[in-house]
Structure 1
Amino acid sequence: MSILFWRRTDLDGLERLSLQIKSDRVTAVSTVISTEAGGLRLDHRWVLTPDWRAQSVEIERWDAQGHEQLHLARVGPAEWAVNGTARPDLDGAEEPDLSVTPFCNTFPIRRVPQAVGSSLTLDTAFIDGETLTVTRSRQRYERQGAGRLRFVDLGLFEGFTADLEVDDEGLPTTYAGLFERVPN
């Protein structure tokens, strides 16, 4: 089991994630804490296939307004259910992307070919950590060099780009402007 920490660089926040990689699945359990706008705690629990494709994520969020939960689960190769209800508007989304963590960027990053200039474009089921809403969105990851990629938003936040540095597992160490790994 590995323990990873990320610090927000755009606001006051910290994430602690425990990652367990087994031959039959990958699991992650994490807590995000933010002191912005009255404070936020968000717990997320992931189940992934051995090749790092998300099968489900359970999210619980606490803030000044109360407590909310969300469960997103893959119900087909690229079909999703939210809280047990099929969401045809998400059909074709390859992976979830949770706004408050760099962890889920790892899923597509691991599939980008290693050659400089290679890229991967995919649709995601974007989860806004502040509102726990799920919307389909489009993204591209471009290989810049060994351990370096550029994220390009082609959907909800079209025009947003960020450079990422990743470790040998594809886990972000730096997500420019948003997150940085904290040594432990």
Structure 2
Amino acid sequence: MHAISWEVSGSQGFETAWVQLGEGVLRARGRAVGTVPEPYWISYALETGDGFVTRRLTVTAETGDGARELDLRHDGQGGWTANGEPLPAVDGALDCDLGLCPLTNTMPVLRHGLHREPGEREFLMAWVSVPDLAVRPSRQTYTHLGPGRVRYASGDFRSDVEFDEEGYVLDYPSLATRLTAR
């Protein structure tokens, strides 16, 4: 297990994730603090199954209004629940995408080797907004631009993201920049 820290410009804060990467699986726990859109603390745990497909994301968000919790689960067949309630709007998604969290860009990139090999993939994500922890569908496209460079696009937003050899974000313009070496 190793720690990765980012300065998260999108939240005017910081994040550290303790990550364990194995053959086709990823486990992580992380903490983030931000000030945009309001001051908050986030604690999360992420686990994937084979092929880096999300199995479970648990998140606790604390703001001045108190704490919220999310237990987001994927059944491995395309179905999702949030705190036990079905989420049909994200059925078919393989990945979660925790808002303002550079770690969750790793799973689709690793699954398809997009940081190493040419290709373009479109995804439906179970996107979790921060700090309210609402889950919404998000259509995203990842396009290989060159070794370690992948264009992320969703709606009108585009960013050319730099990944290290292992598939972790080094620089995500307008979102985050890594502070520590792996």
TM-score (norm 2): 0.91
In 2, the alpha carbon distance for the partners of 1:36 and 1:124 equals 22
In 2, the alpha carbon distance for the partners of 1:44 and 1:126 equals 14
In 1, the alpha carbon distance for the partners of 2:129 and 2:10 equals 16
Q: Partner residue of 1:12?
A: 12
Q: Does 1:181 align with 2:182?
A: no
In 2, the alpha carbon distance for the partners of 1:145 and 1:135 equals 30
Q: Partner residue of 1:56?
A: 56
Could you say what secondary structure the match of 1:129 adopts? coil
Identical aligned residues as a percent: 25
Change in Cα spacing, 1:53 to 1:177, as seen in structure 2 (3 Å) is same
- For structure 1, which segment, 106-115 or 168-177, has the greater mean C-alpha deviation from structure 2 after superposition? 106-115
1:24 CA drift (Å): 8.3
The runs of 5 or more residues in structure 1 that have no matched partner are none
- For structure 1, which segment, 86-95 or 163-172, has the greater mean C-alpha deviation from structure 2 after superposition? 86-95
After superposition, the CA RMSD in angstroms is 1.7
The runs of 5 or more residues in structure 2 that have no matched partner are none
Q: Partner residue of 1:145?
A: 146
Structure number with the bigger relative contact order (C-alpha 8 A, sep ≥ 6) is: 2
Change in Cα spacing, 1:26 to 1:76, as seen in structure 2 (3 Å) is closer
Moved over 4 A (4+): 22-25
Q: Partner residue of 1:133?
A: 134
In 2, the alpha carbon distance for the partners of 1:39 and 1:92 equals 33
Matched residues, number = 179
TM-score (norm 1): 0.90
